[in-house]
A = this chain, B = another copy of it.
Amino acid sequence: MNRPLPTRARTLASEVNAAMESEPSAAGPAEPQRSQRRASDRPQRPRTMTSTEEIDNTITRPGSVRINVKGAFIVDPDTSTPAPGLAQGTGNDRGSPTHRETSDIRLPNHTAVVSHIAVDIGGSLIKLVYYSREVDSTDPGGRLNFQIFETDRVDDCVEYMKHLRDKQLELNGSQHGALCVMATGGGAYKFYDKIRDALGVDVLREDEMECLIIGLDFFITEIPREVFTYSETDPMHFVSPRENIYPYMLVNIGSGVSILKVTGPRSYQRVGGTSLGGGTLWGLLSLLTGANTFDDMLEQAATGDNAKVDMLVGDIYGTDYGKIGLKSTAIASSFGKVFRIKKAAEAGAANGIQEDTSTTDVGFTDGDISRSLLYAVSNNIGQIAYLQSQIHNLSDIYFGGTFIRGHRQTMNTLSYAIKFWSKGEKQAYFLRHEGYLGAVGAFLKRQPINWGRRGSFEANDDLANWRKSHKGGVAA
Contacts and interface: CB of A to CB of B under 8 A. Distances in A.
A318 interface: yes
Interface stretch (A69-77, A101-109, A159-167, A386-394): A386-394
Contact of A336 (B190, B279, B359): B279
A116 B421 CA distance: 40
A451 interface: no
Given A3-B344, A317-B186, A348-B6, A123 B336 contact: yes
A272 interface: yes
Number of copies of this protein chain within its complex = 2
A380 B283 CA distance: 17
Nearest to A153: B340
A463 interface: no
Contacts of A270: 324
A302 interface: no
B123 A8 contact: no
Interface string A230-262: 000000000000000000000000111000000
Interface stretch (A30-38, A60-68, A219-227, A285-293): A285-293
Contact of A334 (B275, B323, B348): B275
A198 B380 CA distance: 41
12 contacts: A6-B347, A9-B347, A209-B324, A255-B332, A255-B333, A255-B336, A275-B376, A276-B334, A277-B336, A286-B343, A287-B288, A287-B369
Interface of A: 1, 3, 5-9, 95, 122-124, 150, 152, 185-187, 189-190, 207-209, 254-256, 270, 272, 274-280, 282-284, 286-288, 292, 309-311, 313, 315-319, 321, 323-324, 331-348, 350-351, 353, 359, 362-364, 369, 376, 379-380, 383-384, 387-388, 390-391, 421
